[in-house]
Structure 1
Amino acid sequence: MWWPCEWEAFGVAYQPSSSAAGSSLPPLSRPQLAEARRVRAVELLEEGASNAEIARAVGVCAESVRRWRRVWEQDGAPGLRRRSATGRPPKLDDAQVERVRAALEQGAQAHGFEADLWTLERVGTVVEKTTGVALSRASVWRLLTGRLGWSLQRPERRAVERDESEIARWIAHEWPRIKKGP
């Protein structure tokens, strides 16, 4: 838990939630707070503070300060900056995703499917035809829900022959007669 005095050490006004009244800045994320801690630690290092003093000032253990000091001595202040998230790069670039979006918006029937209903397998087929990249079902799901912002929609199970007016008539006339009994 961060207390207001610790936040002020980072030059940040304390904001318990994003709905803080009168605030024009969004609250800092965890990585941003961690970077702010390291930046403050570097400032204190440059002022000649000891590891224990820095640890107390920024609210971390002394081992973290020792580690930060080694990085700072080797790489300077930029070595303590936030890095972008690592991991495998996406198989589809932004231009390919937009081509897939345009293809999917045409509807399933435009791509030769019988019903205008998208399944993961069908979307995977369209992705492969459009971009030449084969995706697993899990990757298709992440593409749809993450990068395209689509959500799961289940069709209502309803008979094609369903007659709403006949159902309303039956509920109004037949059901009360049956409910009365003999």
Structure 2
Amino acid sequence: MSRSFAERDYAYLLDAAHQQLGAPIVLVWDNLNTHISAAMQSYIAARDWLTVYRLPAYAPELNPAEGIWANLRNGLGNLAVTGLDALNAIIKTRLKRMQYRPDLITGFFNETGLPFELA
């Protein structure tokens, strides 16, 4: 059984990422209860290197991952696979193909209308 991240888990992850990257971090978060809790608000306020933007309660049009998943699912509805391993292989292959198409990834960001620049 898997468990979800608690505030402490996010704190450890973000602190480790900041230490590893040595740079500020910008997050775009949804309204998951652990993202908006009082404990998380205190954690965020105590870190001047962390900037958090919150998505509205339901805003798939502002989330570039929605375009990625829609592209990934295209054609899977009519696909017959022999098992989960075969489906997993197809998904990995499709994600790998997307990885080598930066124009496609940039397009998913552009669809949101949010500013996007490559570092």
TM range (shorter): under 0.3
The structure with the larger Rg is: 1
**TM-score scaled to structure 1, two decimals?**
0.20
The two structures have a TM-score, normalised by structure 2, of 0.26
User: Which structure is higher in RCO with an 8 Å CA cutoff and minimum separation 6?
Assistant: 2
Larger proportion of strand: 2
